[in-house]
Amino acid sequence: MIFWQIYALVYDHIMLHLLPYRRLLDAAAKSLNPKSGWHILDAGCGTGNFLHHLLRLEPKVKADGIDFAPAMLQRAGLKSKKIVNWEHRVTLREADLNTFIPYGDEVFQGAACINVLYAVKRPDLLLKEIHRVLEIGGKLVLVTPPFEPKIFPVFKEHVQQMKEGKPYYWPFFLSGQILCLAPWLFIFIILNMFIKKQESFHFLKREELISLVEECGFELLSLEKVYGDQDWFLEAVKPAPEEKEEGLFFK
């Protein structure tokens, strides 16, 4: 927990400037395809960046963000003043995803869990909890780092995307970013090296992730790598329970 409290101090300084991260959040929000009145869960919402993207896509969605790090939630709360509709639509809650998700069964139409699963003690418990709170047909967007993740391919992807967006000016933009963000970048890289070294964290191979998601009751829709190939982007749905053979037999 103390680690995430420290991470909260630098998180947005770097992440909000990283083009692959912004693309990833956009893709996650679009994948949930939220409709007016839907209730969406962001499990491990951090500083609320995904919630921001979600509300921009569908201002009439209702969203709940939960996280156990007060410093992350505090930063998410500060964004509320800048984002139209936030205070009427978003609820932030402090809760530990190592236990249970503090909601009843089948209350959400969609759920996002972005770069959190690897950090919890029991990824299977978290996925079963998300499965429980999703209604039947509800969609899960799960983003989580692969086995042996690296940070430099993400920066490489950032430069690539910057080159595409600003073909002539990108060297000036990039130099400006490096100069302004250097101290944050240094701390960010150290913290990421720490994450990589944590033996208690779960960096999953493709097959491990697929079986985990399916064992927790989801039906896999798609799985690809994003974020400079340093994140799995998985879409899954909570299927209707299968009718029991015996039930049909005795009808």
The residues of the shown chain that bind ligand SAM, judged by CB under 6 A, are 4, 44-46, 49-50, 67-69, 72, 96-98, 114-116, 119-120
> Min. distance of Cβ 125 from ligand SAM in angstroms?
10
Structure tokens belonging to residue 244: 């029991």
Q: How far is the CB of 189 from ligand SAM (least distance, A)?
A: 14
Q: Which residue do the tokens 């569908």 mark?
A: 58
Nearer to ligand SAM, 98 or 175 (CB): 98
The residue of the chain with the least Cβ separation from ligand SAM equals 46
Closest approach of Cβ 1 to ligand SAM, in Å? 7
Measured from the CB of residue 228, what is the shortest distance to ligand SAM in angstroms?
15
Please identify, using beta-carbon distances, which residue of 83 and 170 lies nearer to ligand SAM: 83
CB of 38 to ligand SAM, least distance (A): 19
CA distance 73 to 225: 28
Contact in structure between 232 and 206 (CB atoms under 8 Å)? yes
210 and 223 in contact (C-beta within 8 Å)?
yes
Looking at beta carbons only, is 70 or 163 nearer to ligand SAM? 70
Smallest gap from Cβ 195 to ligand SAM, in A, equals 8
Instruction: Write down the least CB distance from residue 76 to ligand SAM, Å.
Output: 9
Helix axes 152-165, 170-197, angle to 10 degrees: 160
Q: Kindly tell me which of 115 and 230 has the beta carbon lying closer to ligand SAM.
A: 115
Nearest CB to ligand SAM, comparing residues 200 and 222: 200
**Is the CB of 26 or the CB of 163 nearer to ligand SAM?**
26
CA distances from 162 to 89, 93, 167 (A): 33, 35, 8
Q: Which is nearer to ligand SAM, 34 or 46 (CB)?
A: 46
